[in-house]
Amino acid sequence: METSFIDWPGKLCAILFVGGCNFRCPFCHNHPLVLAPEGMETIAFEEIMSRLAARKNWLAGVCISGGEPTLSPGLPRLIARLKAEGWAIKLDTNGTRPEVVAQLLGDNLLDMVAMDVKTVLVQDKYERCAGSAVDLGAIQHSIDLLCHSGIPHEFRMTIAPALHSEDDIVAWAKQFDRSRSRLKLQNFNPRTTLDVAFEKEQGFGPEIFSRFEAMVA
């Protein structure tokens, strides 16, 4: 469990990482969690609650991240128990399991959702960014659920020159109603990556990245 100022805008939160992911994004920095989740520390629920209780006075919520948390069958139960203890919940997801997102929203278990939308919803481009086969219908369904959820949410995209052109970024932003949804770009950082070939790639230069950020604001 970690704490973060940046994962939930405006809130200091604890982060719970859930192992395993159905994508293999070449730029992924969480690859130990993706490729070998069995090697990660497992924390029992009572231990999670005890660590959170010790931080209750200065934490504003719990961010559940991954990996892809919606793959975990225990996720709804975990969140329900955290909510019952009074914690606000943010979920990070890649949007591949809209049925889980719908269940969590329907049960009023989420206070904020950040969904990675890897690029424009074009099959070959998306599969290149995700490093795996992608059901674009599921991605669109998750986007629609969040747009109509009435809760704060953001769609975010990690951009890299090897994967995204300026036209892609413009087209990506046009997929969303910016009056309903917050959009966020993250610049690729070539530290340790899931695809080691990507460690030779670069992010966008700071001026270009600032211009792209302004384009989607």
Chain contacts with ligand SF4 (rule: CB under 6 A): 21, 23-25, 28, 30, 34, 66-68, 94, 116
Residue (24 or 182) nearer to ligand SF4, CB:
24
Least Cβ distance, residue 194 to ligand SF4 (angstroms): 6
Sheet strands side by side (includes 89-93):
2-8, 11-17, 61-65, 89-93, 112-116, 153-159, 182-187
In the numeric block, which tokens belong to residue 160? 């890299």
Residue (68 or 111) nearer to ligand SF4, CB:
68
In the numeric block, which tokens belong to residue 104? 């969590």
Residue (23 or 176) nearer to ligand SF4, CB:
23
Least Cβ distance, residue 162 to ligand SF4 (angstroms): 15
Least Cβ distance, residue 199 to ligand SF4 (angstroms): 15
Name the helix (H) or strand (E) containing 111. Answer: none
CA 150 to the chain's CA centroid: 18
Residue (21 or 83) nearer to ligand SF4, CB:
21
Residue 18 to residue 35: CA distance in whole angstroms = 12
